[in-house]
Chain A
């Protein structure tokens, strides 16, 4: 079953165009020039229950706007969103009962009080019964080890600890869908590792559907089967990460170091560079495997070293961003 269905979703903002300088300021006061900005432009997709999906795109692409509409913060200009069959724009209080939301740049924890008080507050807001509350806290403590700072005031927590606290607060009421807006932003290596481990474990143990936006490609590589790339308000890619890599970068490079300047030609690989005894071949992944190519070459000449170069995921994403649909 689909956890989320989005059909022809559109969001427009009305902005006042500002002129330059004092004259411009006065002019736009007297006769404001309104322009319509289409932040999200007729997008449709659906997300099955229990899937981890990443929304990525350059800054200002419309991904935050899309996520904010999905969790009911913003009202769409057009189109429809259904979360487990319910429309967040119409049945807000019912929809949010089954949502957990974490904004990486903002906290929902009570700043001046010990972390545990914020958890207690969630218990009242979502009317979580004691059994479920304690069980959830126990499960999450095992993954995130929050008990070591649960008695510390939130204002004294490190960013990584605060983020872990925010994740726990969002999951205490066992929501079916978890939205994470840049959950690893600004975190150190260990912090990122903890957050990713948590997302994976929660998804596995509770079958939670997870939607995350991120600029961190490590998040995508380690967490997501599915990737939705948004640019200029439209979906430019939607699919599995490895499919995207195959499509955008169908070739790999093989760099071979020979003992002398006698090198080998291969009918399934093209030589794209040579520097004395170092030769770079490019081959299509669909035609031959890297191992096969090395085998063939080493049958015919003595080789010292061989390295396979893959297109970096950064480059692949950059190519996808640059593409218009």
Chain B
């Protein structure tokens, strides 16, 4: 219990510092505030063109697609807030940046993600919410208690699934000893697989993204649940999210054993 209070106290202060750092560079934040929403809104606009030409994508009409797209972008934004460092873990490993984390009486993985909140990531939340709101209206989504709770559980679970995958990919750099970050690749891959219906991909790809890398549970399956009003109410996504984070934590711990700092 004391341990939890300790982590909450440190986290609250780190968040305060993150806000203060952001305020040091207002122009930087404004830049993100403009560019990030545009990036996703343009992407969504393209989708409209495709639907107009073909009527629907794999049985999903434009409203449903907006619902899925918005849901995916929102959990993307949350994962950028908490887990974006995972994309750059290789740099931390090679440059010996874990030294300082190892010298403080806090979990290394916790410090890796929570010493620098990426508040700029929140700017992705804006297009996500806009597109999602549009989708909700188009499919006549009912905002009852069950749906609202499910939605929040899904967003939390989806953020954890993304975070878990980022950690696992980043942890590989303990062995590869390479600063190559997967940032571009990861974003591209996640965008393509979470913002559009998974069912439009070949069967093998669907199986892969369901059972091996559970990306389907970030947006595709939960969107189906919310739209049909059936299913686990997001608990499946949450369960997989927690599982992924725990697995990633173990994998990271194993990787950290091989940490060699930088320079001897």
The A contact surface, by secondary structure, is mixed
Q: Is the CB of A73 within 8 A of B261?
A: yes
- With an 8 A cutoff between CB atoms, is A65 at the interface? yes
- With an 8 A cutoff between CB atoms, is B42 at the interface? no
Q: Kindly report which residue of chain A lies nearest to residue B20, judged by CB atoms.
A: A113
Q: Is the CB of B264 within 8 A of A92?
A: no
Q: Is the CB of B10 within 8 A of A72?
A: no
Q: Is the CB of A96 within 8 A of B104?
A: yes
Q: Is the CB of B24 within 8 A of A113?
A: yes
- With an 8 A cutoff between CB atoms, is B105 at the interface? yes
Please tell me which one of the listed residues B21, B25, B103 contacts residue A99 in the complex, with CB atoms under 8 A apart: B103
Counting chain B residues whose Cβ lies within 8 A of the other chain, the interface size class is 20 to 34
Which of B98, B259, B260, B264 has most A Cβ within 10 Å?
B264
The B contact surface, by secondary structure, is helix
Query: How far is B100's CA from A103's CA once the two chains are assembled, in angstroms?
Result: 10
Q: Is the CB of B103 within 8 A of A75?
A: no
Query: Inside 8 A of B100's CB, which chain A residues have their CB?
Result: 106, 108
Known: A113-B21, A121-B13, A121-B17. A96 touches B105 (CB 8 A): yes
Known: A13-B260, A64-B264, A73-B261. A110 touches B17 (CB 8 A): yes
Q: Mark A73-109, 1 if CB is under 8 A from B, else 0.
A: 1110000000000000000111011010101001010
Please tell me which one of the listed residues B10, B99, B264 contacts residue A125 in the complex, with CB atoms under 8 A apart: B10
Known: A112-B21, A113-B20. A125 touches B104 (CB 8 A): yes
Interface residues of A in 25-69 (CB under 8 A from B): 39, 60, 62, 64-65, 68
- With an 8 A cutoff between CB atoms, is B203 at the interface? no
Q: Is the CB of B20 within 8 A of A74?
A: no
Query: How far is B98's CA from A99's CA once the two chains are assembled, in angstroms?
Result: 17
Q: Is the CB of B105 within 8 A of A94?
A: yes
Q: How far is the CB of A107 from chain B (nearest CB, A)?
A: 9
- With an 8 A cutoff between CB atoms, is B9 at the interface? yes
Q: Is the CB of B21 within 8 A of A125?
A: no
Query: Inside 8 A of A97's CB, which chain B residues have their CB?
Result: 105
- With an 8 A cutoff between CB atoms, is B106 at the interface? yes
Which residues of A does B touch, CB under 8 Å?
A: 13, 39, 60, 62, 64-65, 68, 71-75, 92-94, 96-97, 99, 101, 103, 106, 108, 110, 112-113, 117, 120-121, 124-127, 153
For the complex of A and B, list the 10 residue pairs with the smallest distance between their C-beta atoms, beginning with the closest. A93-B105, A124-B13, A65-B264, A112-B21, A97-B105, A73-B102, A112-B24, A124-B10, A73-B99, A101-B103
